[in-house]
Chains A and B, each alone.
Chain A
Amino acid sequence: MSSNARRAIFWLLALVSVCATVRAQETDATYALIAYGGAGYTRNISTFDITPQGLQQNGFGGTLRIMWKPEHLLRVGIETGLTQVYHVKTVNVQTTFGVTDFTSSLNAVPILLAFSMPLTDRLEVTLRSGGYLLYSNTESFGNTVSSSTFSTGFGVGLSYMTPLDEDWGIGGEIKWYHMGKFDDDNIMLQVMVSYNFLEW
């Protein structure tokens, strides 16, 4: 993803976030902890300098988020999960060292501090900041290299949740993860379930 496109998305979301604050603050003094679980499609939108044949940028991602809902609009929590960033499988690559198969994969576990704010009763924007644990595995010429590293990053998303009863809700979320270390960006579209598991 180009830095211009990234900046455009950022400013759009920033505008939405700032506009949201003009809504009246809630006066409900009930505190709650809400768990969100989700799973769905993810698309890596990074641009590679050398795009390998067999690059697969579509994948699967899952999310677990716990948010503290105070009496005011801004909610805070933590988010983790597992996201396929990309994977590659190319057979019979011709090189000066002979023919080899090339496989590679990168997966991310987000460790993010999340801040969310309802725009309407059902629509919510969430900003995330923190990092990602990146796990990679590469094999070619009979040599496998596995590695893990930490990358700083952030994420933003928009979710729509419909209440099923007092505690349960269901909906969807579209979000963008940015992993800074290797300049990877993933867009995710997930089905989400929420559960209000503690209230006081």
Chain B
Amino acid sequence: MNLRLLVALTLVAGFAACTLEDQLAVPSFGDSEFIGQTYPLDPGMKTTLNGVYVVDRGQDRFGEKVVVLWNARDRMTILSGRDVGYFVLQAGRLDSVFFFEGYWRKQVNEMTGLARFFIAKESGGRFLMGDPSAPSTLILEGSIGDGDGRPTDPVVLRFERPIRPEVLSQNFSVLAHRGGGRTSDLVPHSENTVELVRIAEWFGANGVEIDVRLTSDGVPVLYHDNTLNPRLVQKIPMLGRMEDYSFAQLRSFVRLINGEQIPTLDEVLRTIVYETNLKFVWLDSKTEDQDLVTRMVPLLQQYMAEASALAAQGMRDSLDILVGVPSDAIYEELLRYPNYTSVPSLAEKTLDRAQALNSRVWAPVWSGGIDQAAIATAHAEGRRVFTWTLDTPEFVQQYIATGLYDGILSNYPSIVAYYHYVQ
């Protein structure tokens, strides 16, 4: 009996001693990177590359079909329907040969590695260069590796068809949770940071949800949890409620798990407007502080106006920044805000709230089921309908197939983008 008890106790202690790794390095070609020696692609070439491709080699890893998408300004994304897999690639060309370099990742596990592709002159290179006599074929030939290892496993992708015009013309929002993904999913940067928002489009997102709190001196910052804790911040001698600390304290002494600073809402919105082409921002209110709405609304109005000015010059797409209304307290606070029906908002919970606030978006939680009548009413009233937070590929596929939703929030935006664009 004693022996059994002791062994059990020591095993419990042993499990408690284990710690999870919380970082996954993005593989890099380092000095052997080739793209720097090539010429950049024209916008028309990028558009031509967009489409659904058949996986001729590499089906075991990436499934039968993938979607190639120039979503970000500087990276081409290849979306796979298998294991939340994707490629993030830089591109360049030399004469009529196109080169792609970057990494692949599967977000359901820690698998990642380098990837390198090319399109040969007669396999689409001439076609991309606009040669009218070239056959309209596109074949991406390449290889992938594991970690920083040299890519050796062959992968071949053959263009099947462009993304359907009716899909492209939909105003569908692929929303990345916490600015691009959760820290726990080993995204390249900590959640809710300037650094992550900057690359959210790499994962197929065209919008982000970010979590906003107020510091003790009233500065809106991005941070999800109530407390400073090891899930989000590096080990430091500071504990307790995040909102008890002043901005100066947080900025001077706290670093997020991957070394970033806790950003202000102002910094993140400025990054979104000027460094991305994201079209939608959902400000999720993580506090019931009376001042949160008052502090957020002027900022979102300022940055929506700046984005509109850029859009008018053709420098970016239009941008919606909406105040999320997740709780009774925020709902009541927004109702007290002057001209609240003109404040761009996104109401969770019931459609009644979206109607009372004149919200642009109604966002019921996905687990509440699909209320077709309410969705039809919201659409008839000119509201968009989102659902959240949908991570299971089968459910993502099912919800997109209904054609009822205008956007899906997910920790895995690549899977939402895949099922949307592959339609």
Bound together? yes
Assess A21 versus B16: contact at CB under 8 Å? Given A48-B236, A106-B239.
Answer: no
Q: Does A82 contact B (CB under 8 A)?
A: no
Query: Does residue B353 face the partner (Cβ distance < 8 Å to A)?
Result: no
State the Cβ distance, A128 to closest chain B Cβ, in Å.
9
Partner of B240, one of A7, A73, A74, A145: A145
| Bitwise interface map of A from 5 to 42 toward B, beta carbon under 8 Å scored 1, else 0 | 01100110110011001000000000000000000000
Complex CA distance for A100 and B251, rounded to whole angstroms? 13
Question: Contacts A145-B245, A149-B227, A183-B230: A10 and B10 contacting too (C-beta < 8 A)?
Answer: yes
0 or 1 for each of A95-128: is its CB under 8 Å from B? (1 = yes)? 1111010101010000000010100000000010
Residues from chain B with a CB closer than 8 A to the CB of A98 are 248
Residue of A55, A134, A146, A152 with highest tally of chain B CB at under 10 A: A146
Q: Which residue of A lies closest to B248 (CB)?
A: A97
Contacts of A129 in B (CB 8 A): 9, 12-13
A180 within 8 A of B: yes
Contacts A21-B2, A49-B234, A50-B234; A10 near B17 (Cβ below 8 A): yes
B7 within 8 A of A: yes
- List B1-57 residues whose CB lies under 8 Å from chain A: 1-3, 5-7, 9-10, 12-14, 16-19
Tell me, in angstroms, the Cα distance from A146 to B12 when the chains sit together: 31
Q: Does A140 reach chain B (CB closer than 8 Å)?
A: yes
B17's partner among A6, A47, A146 (CB-CB below 8 A) is A6
Q: Interface 1/0s, chain A 154-172, versus B by CB < 8 A? A: 1010000000000000000
Q: Which residues of B contact A149 (CB under 8 A)?
A: 227, 239-240
Docked-complex contact A7 and B248, CB < 8 angstroms: no
Chain A residue with minimal CB distance to B233?
A: A49
The CA-CA distance from A141 to B244 in the complex, in Å, is 13
Closest A residue to B13 using CB positions: A154
B314 within 8 Å of A (CB atoms): no
B238 contacts across to A, CB distance below 8 A: 104, 136, 138, 145
Task: Determine the chain B residues whose CB is within 8 A of the CB of A95 once the complex forms.
Answer: 248, 251-252
Interface flags for B213-244 (1: CB within 8 Å of A; 0: not) read: 00010000000000101100011111111001
Q: Is the CB of A49 within 8 A of B6?
A: no
Q: What would be 8 A-B contacts, judged by CB atoms less than 8 Å apart?
A: A14-B10, A14-B14, A104-B238, A115-B9, A136-B240, A143-B249, A149-B240, A180-B16
By a beta-carbon cutoff of 8 Å, the part of chain B in contact with chain A is 1-3, 5-7, 9-10, 12-14, 16-19, 216, 227, 229-230, 234-241, 244-246, 248-249, 251-253, 255
- Top-9 shortest CB links A-B: A147-B240, A49-B234, A97-B248, A14-B10, A95-B252, A104-B237, A136-B239, A6-B17, A145-B244
